[in-house]
């Protein structure tokens, strides 16, 4: 049985945060200034009150995601990526479930995320866990065409 565990960020794992995210961004979109800001310096997220996590499958880092603090009580589920060879193994489920538990632990009242509707499996995953579409308003990423929220209360 494959074992997925979620582990905290450490500097030596930062390379996985960068490489996993760049791989999916480059596959579907183009790297934007917002990507460069955080992927070039993952510590920026932590320095601004956020968290970075990794998914390990049988000891191998195969996924990553961040909870970026937007304001008191609101975190953005961001920079979620799973290596292409490990997609379809429910790793995203573990990451979203962990994100919701962590947000509750942080006493957050809302999780938000920005995505693109061409990413059908991702949108399906978010809806499965109760994220609902809200007005997009503005996003720092040109590729974002959908904003979703999860009310924790």
Domains of the chain with bracketed CATH = 4-151 (3.40.630.30)
Res 51: pLDDT? 98
Spatial distance between the Cα atoms of 30 and 35, rounded to a whole number of angstroms: 9
Contact predicate 81/63, CB 8 Å = yes
Q: Which residues pair with 60 in a beta bridge?
A: 57
Res 95: pLDDT? 98
Q: Which two tokens stand for residue 64?
A: 């990553």
Res 1: pLDDT? 62
Spatial distance between the Cα atoms of 92 and 110, rounded to a whole number of angstroms: 19
The closest alpha carbon to 111, from 130, 88, 90, belongs to 130
Spatial distance between the Cα atoms of 149 and 153, rounded to a whole number of angstroms: 12
pTM of the predicted model, to two decimals?
Answer: 0.95
Q: What stretches in the chain show pLDDT beneath 70?
A: 1
Q: Tell me, what DSSP letter sits at residue 140?
A: S
Res 140: pLDDT? 84
Res 44: pLDDT? 94
67's enclosing H/E stretch is: strand 60-71
């Amino acid at each position: 049985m494959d074992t997925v565990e979620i582990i905290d960020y450490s500097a030596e794992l930062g390379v996985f945060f960068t490489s996993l995210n760049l791989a999916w961004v480059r596959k579907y979109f183009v790297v934007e200034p917002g990507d460069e800001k955080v992927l070039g310096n993952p510590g920026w997220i932590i320095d601004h009150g956020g968290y970075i996590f990794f998914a390990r499958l049988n000891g191998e880092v195969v996924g990553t995601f961040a909870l970026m603090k937007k304001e008191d009580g609101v975190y953005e589920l961001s920079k979620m990526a799973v290596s292409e060879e490990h997609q379809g193994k429910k790793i995203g489920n573990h990451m979203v479930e962990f994100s919701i538990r962590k947000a509750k632990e942080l006493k957050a009242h809302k999780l938000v995320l920005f995505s693109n509707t061409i990413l059908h499996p991702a949108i399906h995953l978010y809806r499965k866990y109760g994220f609902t579409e809200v007005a997009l308003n503005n996003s720092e990423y040109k590729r974002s065409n959908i904003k979703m929220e999860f009310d924790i209360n």
